[in-house]
Structure formats: structure tokens, C-alpha cells
Amino acid sequence: MRFNKYILGSLSLALFTFTSCSDDDSTIEETGISIPQTYTFERNGTTTVDFEGQSSRLLMLQEMGNYIKDQAAANAIVDATVLNNMYTNTNNPFSTTDLNESGKQLRNKTAASRDYFVNFGGGGSSVEQDSVRSYFEAQFDDANAASQGNTASASVPGFYVDGSSTRLFAANGLEPQQVLLKGMMGACFIDQVVNNYLSLAVLDESTSRDDNTNKVLVSGKSYTNMEHKWDEAYGYIYGAGGGKYWDSYINQVAADADFSSVKENIEVAFRKGRAAIVANNYTLRDEQIAIIKSNLAKVPAVRAVYYLKNGKTNLVTDNGAKAFHAISEAYGFIMSLRYTNNPETNAPYFTKQEVDDLLAELIAGTNGLWDVDYLNIHLDIIATKIATRFGFTVAQAETVN
């Protein structure tokens, strides 16, 4: 299929009447708005889409995860200072000049959304923000402790060789790398998408709506402020060339027939919402925000249940250690649930306290995950709590079919 550029008009877009569309590169909605088949928007021949900062942060987290993985594979020490430098983008820690000189970092975007951590909706607070950032920094220390040459065992941080992979486990059995990656997907990426850039407090801030209606562009740019904020939300999912983090897991969830609509729902809503902004149709825009929020929240929920059940199948191997990678992924996805946003309440599907309780329950056995008998019971209990809240069954999430 060929994809032509979608040339944006001005106010006339909002005045279209419904017609059939013979151009297979876009569809005309009953609202009279043309929706492009790809996330391609232009004004006067120049793209109006820019999410460079979001792509940078996706790549920064990728380098952090790869650093831990590569050090483990080489039986080398994980330097917590290196990870802290990456987290704050100080001392040129990355492999490319573009990242080092981007002026972007992950730490100041962790638990930093307008709705939850500035306006303190959804149970957020500055105390929580500090705690979350410190928790991720503690993962750097845990990775360092696990890389000192010991074999991982109950209460002993160390290496665990899982086939061709060498993993690092903290004393409680959690894998710091996975807690970091999946946890940051929630505390930074989802939080910024649904509680910041898709927040009406951001999209409609100050004169943003009037400026968008009158197509007043950001100085020196080809886009309005509202268009750019929407693009930044999009970039946290689809940036850095696509296929990373939430984009990848959306695809994995949608590969299951029980959740096959999730991918299309999110993608179409992003395109339709962006087109609605161009056409000044704010009612349609807000409808797409609700679709994105509700569908995106399902992704960490489904994957948390999937990994909890996957972990349970491996509890019989290596005193349970073979299960810890999957359970650590589940742990991080459960962390992410705190940053979801239910469009009906503008609050998370699981409160902070509920998420804290689930996480505590997961590692409440003697020596954390090493208590296989405890896990054998509680993995099912936790999975059921998550599935029930979101209205699907454990059976639907644990098997991709």
C-alpha cells in the first residue's frame, strides 16, 4: 500500500460534510474529518509531528537496560554511578552524542505528570514522587550488589544462568533490570502519556485552545502547542522508530484473540484525535483520549497476569529461580498500574495503596521470591485480583491464542 502525505488544511476541515472516500490513504468520518492511515500530518508541505524528546528517553532507558544486561553477560560489575549518570543524563553517559547533548533525562520525568504529581490528582504527592525516584535508584545499587560474583540464592544477591542468559537477582529474588524497565514504562512513559500530555490541564492550558482554533503556531515551529502535546503523548509509545516498550507490549497483548482490538483502538484513537485537533473538534478529541486511556491501561494488566502465571510454571526449576525473571516483569507491570488513568474517574484503576499492597504481597514470603511454597499460592491470588478489576479472566490473559 502506498501512503501519500496528509496535507492539513485549516478551519475548513471542520466544515466538511460526510462523503465517501475513494482515496485509500484516509477515511472520512461522519464528523467530516479526514483520518490518515498513518500518523502523518503536514502544514504547507512541512511535517507538524515532533516527538524527538520522547524518542530520546525511550533510547536512554534502552541503554540503561542493555548496560545491566551486558555487564551480567560479561560477569562484570554493574557500576551504580554509571546508571545514575544515565538516569540524570550527566557526564556524557550514553553511546551517542545526540542523547548526551539532548538536554533530556529520565529522572525529572519520573512520576512527574501534571494530573498526578503537580495537581496531585489520582492520589499523587511530592512525597511519592521522591520515593519513586529513589526506588529506581535503589535498583542500581541492587544490580551492583548482584554483580559482585556470587551465585544468587535465598537472601544472597548474585548471578543466575538461565540458558543463554545471565541474570542478576537481588537478595529477595527480584531482577533489578526488569523492575527498572517495566517500572519506568509506567512511572515515566504511561504517566506522561495519560496523566500529562493527554490531560486537559496540559492540552487546554492557558491560551492553548484558542491558539489551536486560530492556528497560532509555536514560535519557529510548524505546529500549534496542542498538536505538539498530542504528538508527545504519541511519542512515548511509538517513538524511536517504533517497536519499543509499550508499542511492543501492545502488539503482544493484541496477538491474543481475547484482546485483539487493543492495538487498533489505540492507534486509530491517536490518529483520529490528532486530526480532530487540526479540525478544532475538541469533543471528538476528548472521546479519543478516553479510548487511549482505557485501552492502554489493559496492557500492563494483561501482561502482569501473563507473567505471574508464566512464572508459576517455572517454580519447580532451580529452587524457583527460573521463575524470577517472569515474576520480576510482572512486578514492574504491577507498578505501572498505579500510573494508569480510568477516564471515568481521572484516577488510576488501582490506587497507590492497592498497588503497594500487591507488590508487598508478591515478595512477602521468607526471603522474598525464594519462598516457592508461598508463591505457588499467592501468584494465583494476585493474578485474579488484577484480572477481576479489569474485567477479564486469568485464563484469557495467561495464554496467547
Please give the average per-residue pLDDT across 169-194, as a whole number.
99
- Predicted confidence at residue 68, as pLDDT, reads 99
Closest by CA position to 245, among listed 181, 294, 152, 149 = 181
Closest by CA position to 88, among listed 57, 131, 50, 65 = 57
Q: How far apart are CA 27 and CA 20, in angstroms?
A: 8
Q: What percent of the chain has pLDDT over 70?
A: 93
Q: What percent of the chain has pLDDT over 90?
A: 92
Closest by CA position to 303, among listed 365, 190, 394 = 394
Q: Got the DSSP string for 166-212?
A: EEEE-TTS--HHHHHHHHHIIIIIIHHIIIIITSHHHHT-TTHHHHH
- Whether the Cβ atoms of residue 252 and residue 400 lie closer than 8 Å to each other: yes
Res 62 pLDDT > 80? yes
Q: How far apart are CA 168 and CA 145, in angstroms?
A: 9
Split at pLDDT 50, 70, 90, the class of 32 is confident
Res 8 pLDDT > 70? no
Residues contacting residue 283 through CB under 8 Å, at least 6 positions apart: none
- Whether the Cβ atoms of residue 383 and residue 309 lie closer than 8 Å to each other: yes
Q: What is the sign of the dihedral through the CA atoms of 325, 330, 333 and 334?
A: negative
Split at pLDDT 50, 70, 90, the class of 356 is very high
Please give the average per-residue pLDDT across 126-145, as a whole number.
99
Res 13 pLDDT > 60? no
Closest by CA position to 45, among listed 7, 4, 79, 97 = 7
Average pLDDT, the chain: 94
Please give the average per-residue pLDDT across 357-374, as a whole number.
98
- Predicted confidence at residue 11, as pLDDT, reads 34
Please give the average per-residue pLDDT across 62-87, as a whole number.
99
Closest by CA position to 295, among listed 342, 345, 359 = 342
Res 12 pLDDT > 60? no
- Predicted confidence at residue 22, as pLDDT, reads 29
Residues in a beta bridge with 46 = 43
- Predicted confidence at residue 26, as pLDDT, reads 66
C-alpha 197, offset from chain centre: 13
Split at pLDDT 50, 70, 90, the class of 31 is confident
Q: How far apart are CA 304 and CA 83, in angstroms?
A: 26
- Predicted confidence at residue 17, as pLDDT, reads 30
Residues in a beta bridge with 7 = 42
Please give the average per-residue pLDDT across 160-185, as a whole number.
98
Instruction: Dump pLDDT digits (tens) for 323-349.
Output: 999 999 999 999 999 999 999 999 999
Residues in a beta bridge with 295 = none
Q: How far apart are CA 89 and CA 81, in angstroms?
A: 11
Least confident of 1-5, 58-62, 117-121: 1-5
Q: How far apart are CA 204 and CA 22, in angstroms?
A: 35
- Whether the Cβ atoms of residue 195 and residue 122 lie closer than 8 Å to each other: yes
Q: How far apart are CA 196 and CA 234, in angstroms?
A: 12
Domain boundaries, the chain: 42-158+167-396
Res 86 pLDDT > 70? yes
Res 7 pLDDT > 60? no
For the chain, what's the residue count? 401
CA distances from 349 to 19, 179, 323, 379 (A): 39, 20, 27, 20
Closest by CA position to 343, among listed 301, 270, 387, 288 = 288
